[in-house]
């Protein structure tokens, strides 16, 4: 009997320990919500530091959507008048930050526009940073963005033999980097002509070296996971660069990575062929000094 009592006492203590430990863990990881007031006749705008990836509205009392042509702006308003209960919504941005909002109804809110970056800086608060995206694998979105930005701002060139030039437009591969199963590809477009170059779209595909033997079935299209910044219009006599993130892949010596940049309503498109030797010689991101966001 004493043995059973001792066993039950131990089980009780273990249960209390795990209950307390679990509560402490959740409290330590709490994301403090912002408070927001909405109304029926006016729209509230929230400006996030980067593009919005996901929005979850807590109830049918709210209407929310991303603004057209402004992926970092969320429009939100009341779907019904004078709702009494407090509701909420959550937002995840492309850099992996998680934002939480508690929402109340007010017929005449004092503020209808909010800059989340300014609010975060002024209050010394940080949004949750643990959101992971499937396409990035083990790489946190914030780290991925830091790598893209660092490569772009440092603007170093260690590849000098891969470039194409025609009609006053030059496309060059400045660098290749590898980290945690991803390739970072640093491209530069130079416009030496008197006419702006408008980028229509870019493609990345694995192809056979022998063009004559190439068929659609022998090409593999690669989808960029991230790009910083986007390439749109390169003004006359100017230079622009961009860093593209791709899933890591391997090719044989009989294949190439073909990068094509197409001009909108034009014939000055550019093509780069990257060989296996260049890919496997990609520099390691771990050797770089990242330029962290303030």
User: Given this model, what pLDDT does residue 4 score?
Assistant: 52
Taken in order of first residue, the domains within the chain and their CATH numbers are 34-131 (2.60.40.1550), 141-287 (2.60.40.10)
Select the more confidently predicted residue: 131 or 271. 271
Question: Is pLDDT above 60 for 63?
Answer: yes
Of the chain, the percentage scoring pLDDT greater than 90 comes to 60
Q: Using an 8 Å Cβ cutoff, are 272 and 163 in contact?
A: yes
Confidence tier at 265 by pLDDT (50, 70, 90): very high
DSSP 3-state assignment of 278?
helix
Is the confidence at residue 234, as pLDDT, over 80? yes
Token pair recorded at residue 27: 């409290």
What average pLDDT does the structure give for the chain?
85
pLDDT at 214 over 80: no
Vertex 186 angle, CA 93 and 170, to 5°: 125
> Is a pLDDT exceeding 60 seen at residue 108?
yes
- Reported pTM: 0.65
Q: String of b and e for 203-227 (b: at least 16 CB within 10 Å)?
A: ebebbbeeeeeeeeeeeeebeebbe
State the Cα–Cα distance between residues 173 and 242, nearest whole angstrom: 10
63: its two tokens = 């209407």
| Separation between Cα atoms, residue 282 and residue 174, nearest integer Å | 11
Nearest to 142 by CA among 95, 181, 178: 95
**Tokens in use for 39?**
């109304």
- Whether residue 294 is predicted with pLDDT greater than 50 in this model: the reply is no
């Amino acid at each position: 009997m004493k043995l059973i009592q001792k066993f039950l006492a131990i089980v009780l203590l273990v249960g209390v320990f795990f209950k307390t430990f679990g509560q402490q863990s959740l409290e330590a990881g709490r994301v403090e919500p912002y408070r927001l007031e909405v109304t029926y006749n006016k729209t509230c705008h929230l400006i996030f530091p980067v593009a919005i990836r996901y929005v979850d509205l807590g109830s049918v009392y709210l209407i929310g959507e991303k603004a057209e042509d402004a992926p970092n702006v969320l429009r939100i308003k009341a779907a019904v008048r004078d709702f009494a209960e407090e509701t909420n919504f959550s937002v995840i941005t492309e850099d992996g930050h998680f934002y939480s909002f508690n929402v109340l109804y007010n017929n005449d809110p004092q503020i209808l526009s909010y800059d989340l970056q300014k609010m975060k800086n002024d209050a010394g608060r940080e949004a949750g940073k643990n959101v992971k995206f499937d396409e990035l694998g083990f790489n946190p979105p914030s780290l991925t963005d830091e790598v893209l930005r660092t490569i772009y701002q440092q603007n170093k060139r260690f590849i000098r033999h891969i470039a194409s030039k025609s009609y006053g437009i030059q496309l060059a591969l400045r660098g290749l980097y590898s980290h945690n199963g991803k390739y970072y590809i640093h491209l530069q477009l130079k416009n030496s002509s008197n006419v702006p170059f408008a980028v229509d779209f870019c493609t990345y595909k694995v192809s056979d070296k022998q063009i004559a033997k190439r068929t659609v079935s022998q090409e593999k299209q690669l989808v960029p996971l991230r790009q910083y910044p986007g390439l749109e219009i390169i003004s006359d006599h100017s230079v622009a660069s961009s860093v593209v993130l791709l899933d890591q892949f391997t090719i044989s010596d009989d294949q190439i990575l073909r990068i094509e940049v197409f001009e909108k309503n034009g014939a000055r498109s550019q093509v780069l062929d990257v060989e296996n030797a260049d890919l496997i010689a990609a520099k390691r991101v771990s050797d770089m000094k990242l330029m962290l966001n303030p």
